Amino acid sequence: MTKHKPITLDTVVRGIITLALIAVGAWLVDILSNVLLPFCVACLIAYILDPVVDFQLRHFHLKYRAISVFLTLIEVGIVLGGLAYFFVPSAIREFDNMAMLLKASTSENSMPSFIPPQLQQYLMRYLNIDNLMQYLNGSRLEAVLNKSTDVLTATVDFLLHTIEWLLIFIYVIFILIDYKRIMRGFRLAIPPKYREKAYPIFNDIKTNMDVYFRSQAVIAGCAAVLYCIGFSIVGLPMAIIMGITVGILYMIPYFQYITLIPVALICFVTSLTGAFEFWPEFGKCLLVYVVSQCICDYILTPKIMGKTLGMNPAIILLSLSIWGTLLGILGMIIALPVTALIISYYKQYVLAPNTPPDTADSNQ
């Protein structure tokens, strides 16, 4: 029978102080979010690139880690530049084609028969204006700047934000150069009496993050390729752009389905020109989602990531909402591995000690 420590005034005061420190920390994070976000993004980029730096340092027998860091950044720049060289012209052409389709659709006086007359009038009223087409070809920028009440203030603000995001590059360089020392510093910052319990937790977090992020990144890349091929086969305008967008959103569970809205809109606008019917084309796009998701969920994920995190979809959505509210987009990215780890430790350290041996054996 376990003995519980009595609740004393000292315990209550310590609890209140702990809660106050947590509240102050959350308040400071909220106040400094604009400053912390570039640093957090840089930490995430450094975390992803660190294995590449270590690989080059080990296999090329480089004497200084800084040389490996700059080689890695140059290689990443070459890869991103090559992708931009091949995909940006295609994206521009697709935007131009979409603008032409939108212009052609606004000249039509007929709407698909499945749309109610009231909705037809509403859509035609807004599709007849050139706003969407101007947004697509970028001619809206001058109008937005002209409407600014203070151009000088807007320009200074833009420059400050640009400098703020340029700091990411500097952060990445310094974090990668001292990555091992920074990680060791975090471990040594823990008071000695807590290290025995904290170090295994940190090791589990690192293992969980390594498996999830790198595996999920590979699966997201495969998903982008599958969707680009699928959308191109069915003839969807802006197929490459939508496929890459789906791949990027694949890093956050279930967020790839948000792209159904722009896909439906593209099918609708194109159907107004008479190029194809809305429902058959949209049905083909849905088939692309079904086939691609089946390949990703039942073939790629078991092979690349192994067994899944084993969480109910409702728990996944709840964890995305909570962590997204706390840490924004970064919180949504780390939501699943962190939540899975918290659940695992709750079962191990909270439920397990109080579970009778017979019950624990029967649950296995």
Alpha-carbon distance of 333 to 326, in angstroms, equals 12
For residue 230, what pLDDT is reported? 93
Alpha-carbon distance of 151 to 139, in angstroms, equals 18
Q: What is the pLDDT of residues 125-174, one digit of tens each?
A: 555 545 555 555 544 444 444 544 445 565 556 566 667 668 888 888 99
Nearest to 254 by CA among 325, 338, 321: 321
Alpha-carbon distance of 267 to 237, in angstroms, equals 8
For residue 306, what pLDDT is reported? 61
For residue 227, what pLDDT is reported? 94
The structure tokens listed for 51 are 């294995």
For residue 4, what pLDDT is reported? 56
The structure tokens listed for 246 are 């789906």
Would you write out the chain's pLDDT as a tens digit for each of its 364 residues? 445 566 677 777 888 888 888 888 778 777 777 777 788 778 878 888 888 899 998 888 888 899 999 999 999 999 988 888 887 787 777 777 777 766 666 555 455 555 566 555 665 555 554 555 555 554 444 444 454 444 556 555 656 666 766 888 888 899 999 988 888 887 887 788 877 877 887 777 777 777 777 788 888 999 999 999 999 999 888 888 899 999 988 888 778 889 999 898 888 878 777 777 888 889 999 999 999 999 988 888 878 766 555 667 777 778 878 877 777 776 777 777 778 778 777 776 666 655 444 444 444 3
Instruction: Give the CA distances from residue 229 to residues 40, 127, 223, 261, in Å, rounded to whole numbers and listed in that order.
Output: 33, 30, 10, 19
For residue 121, what pLDDT is reported? 61
Those residues with Cβ within 8 angstroms of residue 205's Cβ, 6 or more apart along the chain or in another chain: 337, 338, 341
Nearest to 334 by CA among 321, 347, 346, 320: 320
For residue 6, what pLDDT is reported? 67
Alpha-carbon distance of 46 to 164, in angstroms, equals 17
Amino acid at 222: C
Q: What is the pTM of this model?
A: 0.66
For residue 90, what pLDDT is reported? 74
Contact criterion met (CB below 8 Å) for 271 and 354: no
Contact criterion met (CB below 8 Å) for 191 and 182: no
Question: DSSP alpha helices (H): ranges in 107-191?
Answer: 117-127, 131-137, 140-146, 151-177, 179-188
For residue 361, what pLDDT is reported? 43
Q: What is the pLDDT of residues 27-52, one digit of tens each?
A: 877 777 777 778 877 887 888 888 88
